[in-house]
Copies of this chain bind each other. A is one copy, B any other.
């Protein structure tokens, strides 16, 4: 039974992302651009600006990885085939008569399929980033983790920066307290693949790629069908307690508001109701009623 599994994982790891998986990734990215307020009007007024924004969404992770490794950030423009595919998808999505693409995309099965295939490309990006970084800095663990993370989920940084420069977005301090789900799951993947690459994990790469991909695709589809969001809070709580101990109590001058609730332990953190909902609030789920 191992051999068919091994063959399956090996075949899977050799699959090319082009054209179908890349198509799905570009489609999801362009639809994300289109859903921003005023995007369609912008596409008619200044198609070049709209096209550029769409390219940043499609290739943002690679651009960030290039910036961090001092490679030309325009490198993605030299890949004529992928640029042509992404540009065609942008063109058809924004300018198709009767908005057929958006209508087709509004059906849940189509969204599930496209998002699932986009998640597959995430694995490939992480692996590509880790391998590429290792060619620069042999056994530079943190660099490999950083580049894998940047390639897999760094596009959000690039697109947020573009919106910041355009005046469409003002950063609020709070946003940096919360890491999004894609960011966390990509960081986890990047750490795992880095340790596998430096032979600290006794698993072959193709098996790990297969397992990780199944994991993230399953979670993504579950989240979309059940309309819930994934939280790593229990794991984060445990990890933080091991690494950092009990969180001290912060005075109201340190925190914006306090919600009183009984707890046990040497100290704990009162929290805002919105913080409870935050993915990255680690200590808030460990209160015990007295």
* A interface residues (Cβ-Cβ under 8 A, vs B): 38, 40-42, 44-49, 66-74, 77-78, 80, 83, 95, 97, 136-137, 140-143, 146-147, 161, 164-168, 170-173, 175-179, 187, 240, 243-245, 247-248, 250, 254-255, 269, 275, 280-283
Contact = CB atoms under 8 A, between A and B. Distances in A.
Contacts of A147: 74
A245 B171 contact: no
A42 B49 CA distance: 34
B69 A74 contact: yes
A44 B146 contact: no
A177 B280 CA distance: 37
B245 A45 contact: no
Given A176-B49, A179-B48, A244-B47, A77 B140 contact: yes
Given A165-B171, A167-B172, A171-B167, A95 B244 contact: yes
Contacts of A167: 170-173, 175
A66 B73 CA distance: 11
Q: Count this chain's copies in the assembly.
A: 3
Given A167-B173, A245-B97, A142 B72 contact: no
Contact of A78 (B71, B140, B170, B247): B140
Contacts of A250: 40-41
Contact of A240 (B47, B78, B142, B166): B47
B69 A72 contact: yes
A47 to B, nearest CB: 7
B44 A78 contact: no
A78 B137 contact: yes
7 contacts: A41-B250, A42-B177, A44-B283, A70-B71, A70-B72, A78-B143, A80-B140
Contacts of A41: 250, 254-255
Given A44-B282, A74-B143, A167-B170, A177 B49 contact: yes
A66 to B, nearest CB: 7
Contacts of A173: 38, 166-168
Contacts of A275: 45
Nearest to A66: B70
A136 B41 CA distance: 36
Contact of A68 (B72, B97, B283): B72
